[in-house]
Chains A and B, each alone.
Chain A
Amino acid sequence: MSIALWQITHPEKLLWPEANIRKIDYLRYLADVSDVMLPHLRDRPVTFIRYPHGVDGPSFYQKNVPAGTPLSVQTYTDHSHQKPIEYVLINDADTLLWAGNQACIEFHIWFSTTREPEYPTHLAFDLDPVWGDFEPTREVAFLIRDTLHGLGLPSYPKTSGKEGLQIYIPITPRHHYNETRKVMQFIAEYVIKLRPDLITLERLVKDRHAPVYVDFLQHARNKTLPAPYSPRGTKLGTVSAPLSWNELEKGAVPSDYTISNMSARIKQKGDLHADLLSHANSLDDILHFLH
């Protein structure tokens, strides 16, 4: 129990006008998911995307802790860049709700924690449809899952909350980003060799000539992906939803998961990414081989 040092402002403001989601509904969502969401956010610097006037209005990225932040909010100052950045850490429900009240709609988090900022706790492939529907992305996801399985690595899918899909592989935080990137690149190079018709690794949009972009480059300190359960600034209030491979096989698509239906889903299924927090895999064998 903490003393609230801030108050809910404009509870009736429509943050998602088309989906008819008011700020108070959004805060209720955050309160509902806080139990499953907070463990994933713990000690990870957050980049917010704020939509002060709702998702139809302008938005901006916010890394530095904003002025007027309650003292109860924990922060972490990152000195790895020329200009230090003081990030917010969301380690309790109060901070999560406070951020929600600031119209922080998207929560993007690091792959590493403040304890070992150079040593990620998971690998993550970011799959984005370049054109067409979700089906090619689904196919590429299974290809990556099977490749990882062959390497003895379990993986966990989650929707990006927009059109894409992300695949997480929990690892022991003992391998530097420079090492983990090699593993990711190796896997990416392998899958594109198998399915050049489906996959592109091109960073520049104009050079992408296949339906699914697999991003393995955005894997470094200060790089982020949307946190599990983070909403996105989409018209329908879709959220980044942890999935089971089984659900993906049965045809799950990113638009299935929204602020309005996630609470019931979590009550029924719990946190499908809970294993990410408790299981970790060593990359020693793979790295040894690659060297």
Chain B
Amino acid sequence: MHTMWKGSISFGLVSIPVKMFAATEDKDVRFRYLHKTCHTPVKYTKRCPHCDVDLTEDDIVRGFEIEPNRFVIMTDEDFQNLQPKQSRSIEILDFVQLSEIDPIYFEKSYYLSPEETSLKAYGLLREAMENTGKIAIAKIIIRSSESLAALRVYGDTLLLATLYFPDEVRSAKELPFYGAKADVDPREIDMATALIDHLSAEFNPEKYTNEYRIALLDVISAKAAGETAEAPTVSGARGGNVVDLMRALQESIEAAKSSHDTDQTPTPRKPKRKSTRKTG
């Protein structure tokens, strides 16, 4: 796996060096955009419509639109000055119960592995967290932005899940018919409850597959096979005499049928066929 971040967990006075790895991966099937007529991958150019010129990286700065068409320009220096001081640490703030965090807050998961120098401290923290059954809420800086995260024990390793900040979670109250009371019969609730009981199972993620993705890859591989498949040999070796050959075959089958009808025995079929075949 590819290390995506190096830093340390800071916990009281202790600092535990760790490496971070993405724990999940996106299996989306990706497509490239091609020019329809020649199938060349499309190239994107950045262009200034005002000056009517193509731009390079150096020609571009970042601006924040404070009102339509009025921008505040942010320089690299501005961003650097903002960089939080302890940009390489996972700072534990509190310990809480996992069940206290609604799943809506979870964003993305990362594995944390110890460095050779931190095996003991890492093991200690992991074990203590396992014993208490608690998880840690921490602040972490990933790619120059600050994130809230939950640090917990996952099997034999520590796992860090980034969390949304509360102001990033939208309120459900904006939904149409939010909290509307449904007029339901108690018997209907009983029936629905019985159905849920009937369908209750242990969560077994292996059971669920991305059908759309599988179907999509099937189509792609079928097309790929088709592209490389040999074209049918229509005017192949038999070429011009296929018509004669068919006539000969039809005659031999007709002859076999009539001889079968008269003789009641299939034996004369073979010589018949051989004699007609010469014409083919």
Contact = CB atoms under 8 A, between A and B. Distances in A.
Interface of A: 7, 60-64, 66-67, 147, 150-152, 185-187, 189-190, 192-194, 201-204, 217, 285-286, 288-290
A153 to B, nearest CB: 9
A190 B253 CA distance: 16
Interface residues of B, number: 34
B121 interface: no
B234 A201 contact: yes
B209 A67 contact: yes
B199 to A, nearest CB: 9
Contacts of A63: 214-215, 218
Given A150-B250, A186-B242, A67 B231 contact: no
A62 B211 contact: yes
25 contacts: A60-B211, A60-B215, A62-B215, A63-B214, A63-B215, A63-B218, A67-B207, A67-B209, A147-B246, A150-B250, A151-B250, A186-B238, A186-B242, A186-B245, A189-B236, A193-B243, A203-B226, A203-B229, A217-B232, A285-B252, A285-B253, A285-B256, A286-B249, A289-B249, A289-B273
B177 to A, nearest CB: 19
Given A189-B242, A190-B243, A67 B253 contact: no
B124 interface: no
A186 B250 CA distance: 13
Nearest to A222: B222
Nearest to A48: B215
A67 B250 contact: no
A34 B208 CA distance: 30
B212 interface: yes
A288 B269 CA distance: 12
A192 B273 contact: no
Given A62-B215, A151-B249, A203 B231 contact: yes
B214 A189 contact: no
Contacts, number: 76
B252 A289 contact: yes
A151 B256 CA distance: 11
A285 B273 CA distance: 9
The interface residues of chain B, by DSSP majority, are classed as helix
Given A190-B242, A217-B232, A285-B273, A60 B253 contact: no
Given A150-B253, A289-B273, A186 B246 contact: yes
A278 B215 CA distance: 35
B127 interface: no
Given A60-B215, A61-B215, A190-B242, A151 B253 contact: yes
Contacts of B249: 151, 286, 289-290
Interface of B: 195, 207-209, 211-212, 214-216, 218-219, 226, 229, 231-232, 234, 236, 238, 240, 242-243, 245-246, 248-250, 252-254, 256-257, 269, 273, 277
Given A151-B250, A152-B253, A289-B277, 8 more contacts: A60-B211, A62-B215, A67-B207, A150-B250, A151-B253, A152-B257, A189-B234, A190-B242
A213 to B, nearest CB: 12
Contacts of B240: 193
Contacts of B214: 63-64
A64 B213 CA distance: 12
A3 B229 CA distance: 47
Given A60-B211, A67-B209, A189 B273 contact: no
B195 to A, nearest CB: 8
Most chain A beta carbons < 10 A, residue from B214, B242, B245: B242
A83 B168 CA distance: 42
A203 B228 CA distance: 12
B89 to A, nearest CB: 42
Contacts of A290: 249
Nearest to B213: A60
B6 to A, nearest CB: 37
A192 B229 CA distance: 21
Given A201-B234, A203-B232, A289-B252, A190 B246 contact: yes
Contacts of B254: 150, 152
B212 A60 contact: yes
Given A147-B246, A150-B253, A152-B257, A64 B211 contact: yes
Contacts of A150: 246, 250, 253-254
A192 B234 contact: yes
Nearest to A216: B232
A15 B100 CA distance: 43
Contacts of B253: 150-152, 285-286
